[in-house]
A and B are shown apart, each in its own frame.
Chain A
Amino acid sequence: MGRYVIRRLIQAIPVLIGATFLIYWLCFSLPGDPVQALAGEKKADPLVAEMIRQKYHLNDPFLLQYWNYITGVFQGDLGESLTGRSVSEMISEAFPFTVNLAIVAFVIEAIIGVLAGVMAALRKGKFLDQLVLISTLFVISIPVFVTGFVLQLVLGVKLKNDYGIEIFSVSFNEEDGLRAYLLPAFVLASTSLAYVARLTRTSLMETMRADYVRTAVAKGLKRRRVIGRHALRNALIPIVTFLGADLGGLMGGAVITEKIFNIHGIGGLLAQAVYQKQGTIIVGVVTLLVMIYLVTTLLVDLLYAVLDPRIRYE
């Protein structure tokens, strides 16, 4: 087990180096001038633009730029954005918001999703099952920005203005604590939640037909024990896989939700950096995301062994 973890962590090093190199190269090959991208709709003054390019070594050949960057990284310096801010500072400002949002969303997604799926599976074809199927289809088919804006308007603005109830805030406010995350986290979780519910339903229904479940029932075990200890444990393996991969996705893919609710997290930082062709920010953020993916997939693999003791890592 310990060996397996160490091997996996060592494997992560070439993945990280490869990823940074590839992304740095992609950013470099993007057409267009990052200094002009900063100037927006006005033409950057040629002299000022040139001075900025010299200051950030943008005129250097690619390999030299990458070398300077990567040696900086090994000294713990993620570089500077073209507006003169430290990239590690920008990431550490944005990261807590995204982590909190992702965790709240993940909890909502896992609990509601699995519960809804289990209930649907156990009442196959009945009203509750139909309700889960139709409501999840509904959620999947509506784009996130629509759900986001409608909920923001109804729960944030209308509820306060018309009834004086202020449970959900329109936009993110740090001092509101957990409350500020609820609505955006729900919106962020909604699509995955629907998938988790449907996946749980199918997976559980399948395992319920398995021989060992029939044996357990024949042994006279209580229904709750059969479902909880025997069926669900096995049924959870594909769901854990999905949830694990999704946690990484929640971190990086929250761009739209973060924008709607004005949460200044990693998603928005990345989107803006891509738009402005700011290589140092992009690589910094992506490296972090790659690391998160590596860790979550490792955790998922380890969880398999917990759920199914036949799976072992030596």
Chain B
Amino acid sequence: MRGATQTKWLVAATAIALAATACSTSSKSSDKAASGGGTIAVQLGEPQHGLIPQNTAESEGAEVLNALFAGLVEYDNKTNEPKLRVAESIESPDSKVWTIKLKDGYTFHNGEKVTAQSFVDAWNWGANQDNAAEGLPFFAKIDGSADLAPGKDKKPTTDKLKGLTVVDDKTFTVALTAPFSQFKTMLGYNAFYPLPKAFFADKKTFEEAPIGNGPFQMDGKWEHNQQIKVKRYDNFPAADGKAKLQGVTFKIYDKLETAYNDLRADNIQATDKLPISAMGTVKGEFGDRYIYKPESGVGYIGFPIATNPATYGKPEIRKAISMAIDREAITKTIFSGTRVPADDFINPLIPGYRKGAMGDAAKYDPAKAKSIFDTAGGVPNNTLELGYNADGGHKEWIEAVANQLKKNLGVEVTLKPFEKFGKILDALGEKQYSGGFRMAWSMDYPSIENYLRPIFSKVAIENGSNYGGYVNEQFETLLDQADQAKSPEEGQKLYQQADDILVQDLPYIPVYTYMSSAAYSKKIKNFDTDAQGRMNLDEVELAG
């Protein structure tokens, strides 16, 4: 008898558990993609933060924000030059004080007009350290930013940037602390998007369902780890190009392989990230619906010049290492063509890139490399160490580099895997690691300056990615001159001269630049991706 009742209890408990969980899953049903005649589904990874433009520094959140917001400028898909979007004009006589005029017709999705104040409020919020927004460094160039971000253990003395002045509804001026010829190019980055009043009233709600000024608006709330649905915003100015689709569902995936299989089965219609495992078959399966184009990233080998001058202090040694690396072989065999050999510190996408700017230093010439290496006196103990993070698929190419250095320079090379990228940064920061290391950079905005100052300048030792501790005064002077140039073009020439100094000094060795790959289904047309690897969803149409 006892046995029987216990069994009943168990069955009942299981049934309740099943019923409870079944209820919770059936409550959120959504209409199937494409059944409404103009909606598609695309791949996305779960964004990290609430969807606030000023607090989003990662690609997944940026992808969604790109659909929901329109910035002052956008970038031409071919040349990557900035084009005016919400801005009517962006002008400055001295590259220091900028006057920004807005076009008519842009509204937020709740009907509020996009005004000069919408931008100024958003930037003031982003620049305030109390809000700990990840986009904070982008406001550092604006006059008064130090009052809003005075640093650790200090309190901001104001909540308004001194450099921002609203002239009228359609005009505002931006005063920078120092001239910056590339300022206009920066303005397409998502930290510079405007915010509506509703954001300041209720940030928590906004994070889950942002109200933007772009071609798409939110369709419901962000369903975490499941999907984010957006629909066309019908009051978007026609001059800018209304979205052609009625709606887009960003389906959230953990694994690119799964998303790719869903694309093959046409359960989603596009992805702008393909798994490495697909590289062999994607061309055959998708034909001209497979997009393969340069992306903004650069992969380097870096040297701790400051902490280990005995090994890496001489530019000749760094040049010899660079010339002993067979970039062609690495990009072809290890990356199966998903990377291309680097020949400049600037990515080929960026206006100002010069093909072959690195000259000899990027050419594979084992004999010459060996002779330069020997003439410079080699390295202590004849050993080099190379570090990499084991979580990102870097082991293979670093091993290949190590073998090439062994063979071509006759040195011993030891490898040091770090569990993840942050660990290398920690070890370098605490000066516990003094070997070479892999490094990569992807731009924030398509300007030649973004490939120089954040990685190789003196300030970047503290605040940027100058992990080697490289310092060259001449380089600094040229950067400053380029910043102060009266026009972006003039600035570009000076930045190229700064680039020439890097080619001489080789603080890092550029090894490859990235290629991005995307694919889309037969159901859609006009699909493309931009330099930041984001989809141009507002131009996509259903095919036929």
Contact = CB atoms under 8 A, between A and B. Distances in A.
A94 B226 CA distance: 10
B77 interface: no
Interface stretch (A10-18, A67-75, A123-131, A156-164): A156-164
Given A157-B264, A171-B262, A262 B255 contact: yes
Contacts of A1: 2
Contacts of B425: 36, 43
A32 B21 contact: no
A37 interface: yes
Contacts of A149: 257
B258 A161 contact: no
A94 B25 CA distance: 11
A64 interface: no
B258 A170 contact: yes
Nearest to A277: B422
Contacts of B205: none
A152 B132 contact: no
A111 B294 CA distance: 53
B465 A43 contact: yes
A291 B235 CA distance: 52
Interface of B: 2-3, 6-7, 10, 14, 17-18, 21-22, 24-26, 28-30, 32, 46, 48-50, 57-58, 129-130, 132-134, 136-137, 149, 151-152, 207, 224-226, 251-255, 257-259, 261-262, 264-265, 267, 392, 419-423, 425-426, 440, 462-465
Interface stretch (A19-27, A198-206, A220-228, A299-307): A299-307
Nearest to A152: B261
Given A100-B22, A170-B262, A175-B29, A38 B48 contact: yes
Contacts of A160: 265
B371 to A, nearest CB: 36
B301 to A, nearest CB: 15
Nearest to B49: A83
B254 to A, nearest CB: 5
A31 B136 CA distance: 27
A170 B261 contact: yes
A100 B29 CA distance: 17
A119 interface: no
Contacts of A41: 392, 421, 440
A195 interface: no
A63 to B, nearest CB: 23
Contacts, number: 149
A48 B258 contact: no
Given A171-B261, A177-B26, A33 B3 contact: no
Contact of A261 (B258, B423, B426, B465): B258
B28 A174 contact: yes
Given A47-B149, A305-B3, A100 B21 contact: yes
A interface bracket (residues with beta carbon within 8 Å of B): 35 or more
Contact of B463 (A46, A156, A157, A161): A46
A311 to B, nearest CB: 11
24 contacts: A1-B2, A32-B419, A39-B134, A45-B134, A48-B137, A50-B152, A93-B225, A97-B25, A100-B22, A100-B25, A157-B264, A169-B267, A171-B261, A174-B26, A174-B226, A177-B25, A258-B254, A259-B258, A260-B258, A262-B253, A299-B10, A302-B6, A303-B6, A303-B10
Given A39-B57, A259-B255, A305-B2, A32 B423 contact: yes
B254 A174 contact: no
B258 A152 contact: yes
Contacts of A33: 422, 426
A31 B7 CA distance: 48
Interface in A282-311: 299, 302-303, 305-306, 309
Given A48-B133, A55-B132, A305-B6, A94 B225 contact: yes
The 6 closest A-B pairs by CB, nearest first: A264-B225, A51-B132, A36-B422, A306-B3, A96-B24, A96-B21
Contact of B152 (A47, A152, A174, A309): A47
A46 B48 CA distance: 19
Interface in A189-220: none
Contacts of B426: 31-33, 36
A246 B223 CA distance: 31
A47 B136 contact: yes
Contacts of B2: 1, 305-306
A242 B256 CA distance: 34
Nearest to A307: B3
Contacts of A157: 261, 264-265
A236 interface: no
A61 interface: no
Interface string A73-103: 0000000000111000010011011011001
Given A36-B426, A262-B254, A264-B252, A48 B29 contact: no
Contacts of A137: none
A182 to B, nearest CB: 14
Given A38-B48, A40-B421, A97-B25, A45 B258 contact: no
A7 interface: no
B487 to A, nearest CB: 30
B465 A42 contact: yes
B254 A46 contact: no
Contacts of B129: 47-48, 51
A47 B258 contact: no
A103 B151 CA distance: 52
Contact of B264 (A83, A100, A161): A161
Contacts of A83: 48-50
Nearest to A261: B258
Contacts of A85: 224
Given A36-B426, A46-B463, A152-B261, 18 more contacts: A33-B422, A33-B426, A36-B425, A41-B440, A43-B425, A47-B129, A52-B132, A83-B48, A99-B21, A100-B21, A156-B261, A170-B261, A174-B26, A174-B30, A175-B32, A177-B25, A260-B255, A305-B6
B265 A161 contact: yes
Nearest to B47: A83
A153 interface: yes
Contacts of A169: 267
A46 B462 contact: yes
A84 B49 contact: yes
Contacts of A258: 254
A248 interface: no
A113 interface: no
